[in-house]
Amino acid sequence: MSAARRHPAEGTASIVVVNWNGREWIEACLMSALAQEHDAAFDVVLVDNGSSDGSVAFVRERFPEVRILENSQNNYAGANNLGAASSGSEFIVCLNTDTRLPTSWLQELLAPLREDPSIGGVTPLVLFEDGRVNSTGIETLPGFHWRDRDFGRASAEGLEAGEVEGISGCSAAWRRSCWEQVGGLDEDFHMYYEDVDMSLRARRDGWRLWFTPSSIVHHAYNASIRKLQKIGSRGAGDALKDRLGERNRLFVIARHYPRLLIEALATSRFLLHEKESEVRSGIELLFAKWEEDEATELARRELVSLALRLRTVVLEREAWARGSEVELKVRDQSVRSMRRHLDQAAAAQEAERRSWRARVQRLEDQLRDGLGIRSRAESEALDLRGRMVEQASAYETQGRRDREALRNACSAYEREIAHREGVIAELKRLLAERDAELERQRARSS
């Protein structure tokens, strides 16, 4: 089936692919999207969010049948809205760039929408590249968190089609009338939880959401975050995911479960650990969503309580920061003190080892002088052995105390204690060897 644009008609679809520096995946994604076997017209729209990797020029040359739209800002939700608004197809299909599709994906994905007018959106079976399940939709967890259903399941065997709480934005088909009724994706979310929010709004307006395992998507998963980690500093992608995820979770609670917002704010790591500028902008958007629909009166009634909770959160955050700084200084001083102690102990042990080697050498020289010296040598050797055993016992006792102290201060000092015990063991071994040598010499002398 050609991917050229046609006039809106029954069964027509627009596949909206949002791209941001996706040159690594875009060719395989678009090739499999254009190769779909669908009994109605469909087109593919690439919405670019300001890529700098040459992916737009590549698509323009390699796939002239793909329509390209350039978004003015890097906003995933906004790019999907732009792609949807540019087309009049009956169905809007959102697709990530890091996906590969069997030729039956689109036909099977749209089948429930074409068969049942009460269904507003459909999610396919999303698989990791190794065959494990990535998503079969979205489900609610305790404490008002959301995640992909069946995430990490070993195989898709036994999965059945059915209604779900939400549909994943990785690959999702929406009926245009549903999309327009709920207003599309909320661009304040940018990415993460935008699919949860839209699913809840669709269900609130009476639409059913559906999972169909016969439509399959192979997903590289978190490709955008991996791109951030390559482009920026190490861990930047994970930090962005955590920040947006927690912030957007609060957005969902504010809009759909407003009575739980104050409790969620009081325990949110977003308020406790995020930068102040991000917290301020996030709170402004949060209030805007909290006062949507019929929550305005609740917002007015609870505003004072919310302000007091926020003040408590801020004070706790400042106290946490001060306490962390003091704790770090104390720990640093303790580490330096422990390092000095270990250096001194190591020097003392080395001096003792040299002293023991010298004593043993003298004993050997005396033994060579004859039988008369042997008795004194044996006496001195026994005395030395006793002192060494006592010293070894003392070192073992000291080692246990040091290990306990070092374990509380810094686990790194475990290796030093193990080294000390190794030294003591080596000394015991040397003493045993010396005792054996003395015995052999006594035997030879007698």
Half-sphere exposure at residue 173, Cβ-oriented, CA atoms within 13 angstroms: 29
Q: Which CATH number fits domain 13-221: 3.90.550.10, 2.40.30.10, 3.40.1160.10, 3.40.50.150?
A: 3.90.550.10
pLDDT value at residue 173: 97
pLDDT value at residue 284: 72
Query: What's the whole-number average pLDDT of the chain?
Result: 82
pLDDT grade for 162, boundaries at 50, 70 and 90 = very high
pLDDT value at residue 323: 72
Q: For helices 371-409 and 296-368, what crossing angle results, to 10°?
A: 170
Distance CA 380, CA 108 (A): 92
Burial per residue of 246-282, b for 16 or more beta-carbon CB atoms within 10 angstroms, e otherwise: bbbbbbbbbbbebeebbebbbebebbeebeeeebeeb
pLDDT value at residue 231: 41
- Tell me whether residue 185 is exposed, middle or buried, using C-beta atoms within 10 angstroms of its C-beta: 0 to 12, 13 to 18, 19 or more: buried
Kindly report which listed range (104-108, 232-236, 329-333) carries the lowest average pLDDT score.
Answer: 232-236
Q: What is the mean pLDDT of residues 442-446?
A: 82
Residue 269: pLDDT over 90: no
43 or 225, which is more confident? 43
The 10s digit of each residue's pLDDT in 7-33 is 457 899 999 999 999 999 999 999 999
End-to-end CA distance of the chain: 105
The 10s digit of each residue's pLDDT in 182-207 is 999 999 899 889 999 999 999 999 99
pLDDT value at residue 263: 74
pLDDT value at residue 266: 66
Compute CA 356 distance to the chain's CA centroid, rounded to the nearest angstrom: 55
Q: What is the mean pLDDT of residues 50-64?
A: 95
pLDDT value at residue 7: 44
Please check whether residue 221 is in contact with residue 134, taking contact to mean a CB–CB distance below 8 angstroms: yes
Residue 4: pLDDT over 50: no
Q: What is the mean pLDDT of residues 90-117?
A: 97
Tokens 């919310």 -> residue: 306
pLDDT grade for 228, boundaries at 50, 70 and 90 = very low
Residue 292: pLDDT over 50: yes
Burial per residue of 115-146, b for 16 or more beta-carbon CB atoms within 10 angstroms, e otherwise: eeeebbbbbbbbbbeeeebbbbbbbeeeebeb
109 or 395, which is more confident? 109
The 10s digit of each residue's pLDDT in 246-256 is 888 888 888 88
The 10s digit of each residue's pLDDT in 401-438 is 767 766 666 666 667 767 877 878 888 888 888 888 88
pLDDT value at residue 412: 60
Kindly report which listed range (10-14, 153-157, 314-318) carries the lowest average pLDDT score.
Answer: 314-318
Residue 236: pLDDT over 50: no
pLDDT value at residue 49: 94
pLDDT value at residue 271: 64
Residue 303: pLDDT over 70: no
Domain ranges of the chain: 13-221, 342-445
Q: What is the mean pLDDT of residues 106-125?
A: 97
- Residue 439's identity, in one-letter code, is E
User: Could you tell me the CA-to-CA distances from 109 to 171, 172, 179, 232 in Å, in that order?
Assistant: 9, 8, 16, 36
The 10s digit of each residue's pLDDT in 320-377 is 767 766 777 777 777 777 778 778 877 888 888 888 888 878 877 776 776 666 666 5
pLDDT value at residue 232: 47
- Type and span of the H or E element at 84: helix 76-85
Residue 311: pLDDT over 90: no
pLDDT value at residue 207: 98
Residue 309: pLDDT over 60: yes
The model's pTM:
0.64
pLDDT grade for 275, boundaries at 50, 70 and 90 = low
314 or 40, which is more confident? 40
Using a pLDDT cut of 70, give the percent of the chain over it: 76
Please check whether residue 44 is in contact with residue 66, taking contact to mean a CB–CB distance below 8 angstroms: yes
How many other CB atoms are there within 10 angstroms of residue 59's CB atom?
A: 23
Residue 5: pLDDT over 50: no
Closest CA to 81 of 64, 69, 66: 69
Residue 95: pLDDT over 50: yes
Q: What is the mean pLDDT of residues 432-445?
A: 84
Q: Is the alpha carbon torsion for 275, 281, 284, 289 positive or negative?
A: negative
